[in-house]
Amino acid sequence: MKVLIADDHAILRKGLIEILNESFPSLEYFEASNSIETLQITRKETLDLILLDISMPGRNGLETLKQIRADGIQIPILILSVKPEDQYAIRVLKAGASGYLNKDSAPEELINAVNLILKGRKYISLNIVDKLAQSLSHPLDKPLYDTLSDRELQVLKFIASGKTVSEIGREISLTVNTISTYRARILDKLKLKNNAELTRYALDNSLV
């Protein structure tokens, strides 16, 4: 089995390799620490699976996932994250991921997710199944941040973490004017007035 492990933390990559090696003795792995390396390897190698961190620096995992699918590459991708599942799981599945796994999960859950995905199935935790069921039963209970686009959610998190418009622009290669436009849209959608209220909203909803 040929697997690409894309995460900016070397220790975590090594840990994932050890866990996979125990269940897949024939494992052949590649490592990437950012989006550029991930895309280079994905375009060059014939892989069976990609484990992709959603919070890599620069172009994040969600954007990388979208680019891989835009390239026409259909390799199964399992997204890994420390973010709460209800914030990103549905977004990444809609973008073409095969599953979403919280990094706090037990090693056995990782192996279970990999086995399901390799069989052509999707992996979501029981927690997400419950939340999906609740959202179908109570669609009006969905949080306002669900109305944000993927990029708007990313900008919201940057602003709430204290980054300036210029810093955000450099981080994700967009102009200051574009970031300001995203900020205005975010404030409008969340019915907020300024960055202070936005930061409080992000903290209250565990977005940062």
In the listed set 104, 135, 166, which residue is the last one of a domain according to the structure? 135
Angle between helical axes of 176-190 and 165-172 (0-180°, round to 10) = 110
The pTM for the full model equals 0.72
Task: Round to whole Å and give the CA distance between 84 and 56.
Answer: 16
What is the CB neighbour count within 10 angstroms for residue 170? 12
pLDDT tens per residue, range 10-51: 999 999 999 999 999 899 999 999 999 999 999 999 999 999
Domain C-terminal end among 86, 111, 135: 135
- Beta strand residue intervals within the chain, DSSP E: 2-6, 28-32, 49-53, 77-81, 99-102
pLDDT in tens, 125-172: 777 666 666 655 555 557 788 888 888 998 999 999 999 999 999 988
Q: How confident is the model at residue 90 (pLDDT cuts 50, 70, 90)?
A: confident
What domain range is 95 assigned to? 2-135
Rounded distance between C-alpha atoms, residue 129 and residue 126, angstroms: 5
State whether 56 and 99 are in the same domain: yes
Domain count for the chain, please give it: 2
What mean pLDDT value characterizes the chain? 89
68 closest CA partner among 26, 92, 96: 96
Please check whether residue 201 is in contact with residue 190, taking contact to mean a CB–CB distance below 8 angstroms.
yes
* Domain finish residue from 101, 135, 169: 135
What CATH number corresponds to the domain at position 168?
1.10.10.10
